[in-house]
Copies of this chain bind each other. A is one copy, B any other.
Amino acid sequence: MIGVDWGTSSFRAFRLGADGRVLARRAAPRGILAVEDARFAEELLRQTGDWIAEGESRVLMAGMIGSRQGWLEAPYLRCPAGAAEIAGALVRVPFEGAEVLLVPGLTDTDAAGTPEVMRGEETQLVGVLDEIGADGLACLPGSHSKWARIAVGRIDGYATYLSGEAFAALRGHTILGRMMKDGPTDPAAFDRGLARAADPGHLLHHLFGVRTLGLFGQLTEADSASYLSGLLIGHEVRAALPPGGGAVHLIGAAALCALYARAVAASGATAVTHDEDAAARGLARIGKNAAWTTPTRPT
C-alpha cells in the first residue's frame, strides 16, 4: 500500500509493507497550496507513479488533501473515533490506475460548544495509539497545536491552540519583532519565557514585557525570539495540561517536540516523544482496517 500525508505545505509518501513497515519514502514541498489548478491526480502520479507501475494498487491519503481546498472534501468524523471508525469513513477519490481513499478529518466541540477541526493529525494519533495504551494525553505541536485525550484506545476529544501561528504573527508583525535577531532557539532564554508564563497576569500583559525587558537591557535581541517562543508554548502547555501532571505524548518534528518537552517538564509532567513516522504507522493501521475493493499487489 502507498500511504500519503498531504498537507498544506508538504507532501510525504510511504511505500508500506503488509506488516506496516516503511519500505521506501519520499517527500516534496508540494503541499496542496503549491499544486497549480488543483491538478492533484497528476501530482500524485508524478510523486508515486513508479510505485504504482510496479504494482501498488492501493493509495491511502491523509491531511489537507481531504479539505475543501484539496482534491475532494472528506466530511469530518466526530470524536470519539479510533482506527476502526476512521477506516469506516474513508472517502473514495476517482483516479485511474489505483484505488485511492481519503482519511476524513476529525471534529469535536469544546465544553462551550465551539467546534474543533483536524486533518492529518488524527492519522498520526492512530499511529501512536499502541504506544500510548488505553488512556493518555497526546500533543501535536505546530501552527495549530492539537491536544488530544485518548480513552479506551480511541481519540476521545481534543483542543487546538493557535500558538505557532500567533508566534509568527507577533514576531513578524508587531513591535516585539523589531527587537529580535534570527538564530537558533536559546535554551536559557526559552526557559525564561516558560517561567514568565507561570507568573500571574494574562498572556496579553506578558507579551508587552517582551518589549520592556528589551528596552531595559534585560533581554538581548538574540534572545528575544526564544523568550517569546517559551512564553507562548509555556502558556499553551499550562493551559492544556490537566491538574496533576502525568505523561504527555509529543508527536512531530524533533526540534519543536524538544521545546515542548522542556515546557511539559517545567510544568511538572513527563514528556514522551514520538517521531514523525507516526503518520506512516497511522496510515498503515487505518489501511489495514479499510474496505478495499481491489486486491493488494502480489507479494
Contacts and interface: CB of A to CB of B under 8 A. Distances in A.
B111 A205 contact: no
A112 B196 contact: yes
Contact of A166 (B117, B161, B170, B216): B170
Nearest to A202: B239
Contacts of A166: 166, 170, 174, 204, 207
A183 to B, nearest CB: 21
A192 to B, nearest CB: 11
B174 A172 contact: no
A165 B161 contact: no
B110 A201 contact: yes
B115 A201 contact: no
Contacts of A203: 202-204
A46 interface: no
Interface residues of A, number: 46
Interface in A192-239: 196, 199-209, 211-213, 215-216, 218, 232, 235-236, 239
A166 B232 CA distance: 13
Copies in the complex: 2
A139 interface: no
Contacts of A208: 116, 144, 160-162
B161 A239 contact: no
A173 B169 contact: yes
Interface in A145-180: 159-163, 165-166, 168-170, 172-176
A209 B169 contact: no
19 contacts: A111-B199, A111-B201, A114-B196, A114-B209, A114-B213, A115-B213, A116-B212, A144-B208, A159-B205, A161-B208, A162-B174, A162-B207, A165-B175, A166-B174, A169-B172, A201-B239, A202-B203, A202-B236, A205-B240
Interface of A: 110-112, 114-117, 144, 159-163, 165-166, 168-170, 172-176, 196, 199-209, 211-213, 215-216, 218, 232, 235-236, 239-240
